[in-house]
């Protein structure tokens, strides 16, 4: 698989809680965060470990995509976790096709998930 885009940001929750939220996005009904838009589906968890999760594509029209989520303790030693997502594809895609996918993953993971922990 080819890496198409990647981002790393901190999350306020500890690594175990971030992994749990990625594996079970609806695990805490008081903190919904995986709010899908029309044309998106809940990704399947294809693989999960203590520090990573692999999702299927949330875009049914792009079934060959995967999202790898790596969770570690914060590099700066602060509380919380670092979450790196990597969008993977079977082949490279033009930048104009990657941009909206990258933006959407940023919204879901670096905005919505992060805000759910701040509630």
pLDDT in tens, 60-69: 999 999 999 9
Residue 19 structural domain: 2-118
pLDDT of residue 60: 96
Per-residue pLDDT tens for 8-53?
Answer: 999 999 999 999 999 999 888 888 999 999 999 999 999 999 999 9
Q: Answer for the pair 45, 55: CB distance below 8 angstroms, yes or no.
A: yes
pLDDT of residue 119: 63
- Tally of structural domains, the chain: 1
pLDDT band for position 77 (cuts 50, 70, 90): confident
User: CATH code at 20?
Assistant: 3.30.530.20
Nearest to 6 by CA among 99, 102, 96: 102
Q: Which residue has the higher pLDDT, 77 or 59?
A: 59
**What is the side-by-side strand order in the sheet with 66-73?**
2-11, 81-89, 66-73, 52-56, 45-48
């Amino acid at each position: 698989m080819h890496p198409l885009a990647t981002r790393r940001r901190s999350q306020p929750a500890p690594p175990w809680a971030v992994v749990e939220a990625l594996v079970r996005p609806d695990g805490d009904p008081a903190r919904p965060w995986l709010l899908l838009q029309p044309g998106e589906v809940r990704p399947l968890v294809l693989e999960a470990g203590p520090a990573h999760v692999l999702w299927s594509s949330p875009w049914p029209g792009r079934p060959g995509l995967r999202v790898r989520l790596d969770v570690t303790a914060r590099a700066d030693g602060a509380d919380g976790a670092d979450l790196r997502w990597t969008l993977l594809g079977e082949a490279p895609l033009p930048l104009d096709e990657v941009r909206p996918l990258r933006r959407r993953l940023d919204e879901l993971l670096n905005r919505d998930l992060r805000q759910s922990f701040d509630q």
